[in-house]
Structure 1
Amino acid sequence: MSQQALSTAQPVPLQVIENAAISVRGIVKEFPVGDGFIRVLHEIDADIRPGELTYLVGESGSGKTTMISIIAGIMYPTEGSVRVFGTDIYDLSDNQLVQFRLDNIGFVFQQYNLLPTLTAAENAAVPLIAAGVPRAEAEDRGREMLEKLNIGDQADKLPRQLSGGQQQRVAISRALVHEPKLVVCDEPTAALDAMSGRRVMDLLREVALSEERAVIIVTHDNRVFDLADRILQMEDGRITHDGKEMPDGH
Structure 2
Amino acid sequence: MDTGPIGGSAPGEAAISTRGVTRDFKAGQQTITVLHGIDLDVRAGELTYLVGESGSGKTTLISIMCGILWPTLGEVKVFGTDIYGLSDTALVEFRLNNIGFIFQQYNLIPSIDAASNAAVPLIAQGMGRSEARARAVAMMDKLNIGDQAAKLPSQLSGGQQQRVAIARALVHQPRLVVCDEPTAALDAASGRLVMDLLREVAVAPDRACIIVTHDNRIFDLADRILVLEDGRVTHDGKDMPEGH
What is aligned with 1:195?
A: 189
The alpha-carbon deviation at position 109 of structure 1 amounts to 1.1
What is aligned with 2:50?
A: 56
What is aligned with 2:139?
A: 145
Q: Once superposed, which parts of structure 1, at least 4 consecutive aligned residues long, lie more than 6 Å away? A: none
| Structure 1 residues 85-96: aligned runs within 5 Å | 85-96=79-90
1:187 partner letter: E
2: CA distance between counterparts of 1:135 and 1:154? 18
What is aligned with 1:29?
A: 23
Are residue 84 (structure 1) and residue 66 (structure 2) matched? no
What is aligned with 2:212?
A: 218
2: CA distance between counterparts of 1:58 and 1:163? 28
1:166-187 CA distances to partner (integer Å, 9 max, x unpaired)?
0000000000000101100000
Whether the 8 Å CA contact 2:175–2:202 is kept in 1: the answer is no
2:129 equivalent among 123, 129, 135: 135
2:235 equivalent among 237, 241, 247: 241
2:104 equivalent among 107, 110, 118: 110
1:239 partner letter: V
The alpha-carbon deviation at position 46 of structure 1 amounts to 0.4
Secondary structure of the corresponding residue to residue 182 of structure 2: coil
Are residue 71 (structure 1) and residue 65 (structure 2) matched? yes
Are residue 169 (structure 1) and residue 169 (structure 2) matched? no
1: CA distance between counterparts of 2:55 and 2:112? 33
Whether the 8 Å CA contact 2:44–2:208 is kept in 1: the answer is yes
1:141-171 CA distances to partner (integer Å, 9 max, x unpaired)?
0000000101000011000000000000000
Are residue 178 (structure 1) and residue 192 (structure 2) matched? no
1: CA distance between counterparts of 2:59 and 2:231? 11
Whether the 8 Å CA contact 1:124–1:142 is kept in 2: the answer is yes
Whether the 8 Å CA contact 1:50–1:208 is kept in 2: the answer is no
- TM-score where L is the length of structure 2: 0.94
Whether the 8 Å CA contact 1:56–1:64 is kept in 2: the answer is yes
The alpha-carbon deviation at position 88 of structure 1 amounts to 0.5
- TM-score where L is the length of structure 1: 0.92
Structure 2 residue runs without a partner (length 5+): 1-10
The alpha-carbon deviation at position 18 of structure 1 amounts to 6.7
Aligned residues: 234
Are residue 119 (structure 1) and residue 120 (structure 2) matched? no
**Structure 1 residues 18 and 120 mapped into 2: Cα distance closer, same or farther (>3 Å)?**
closer
1: CA distance between counterparts of 2:138 and 2:155? 20
Whether the 8 Å CA contact 1:20–1:85 is kept in 2: the answer is yes
Identity of aligned residues (%): 72
**Which is further off, 102-111 or 30-39?**
30-39
What is aligned with 1:9?
A: none
Whether the 8 Å CA contact 2:14–2:42 is kept in 1: the answer is yes
What is aligned with 1:230?
A: 224
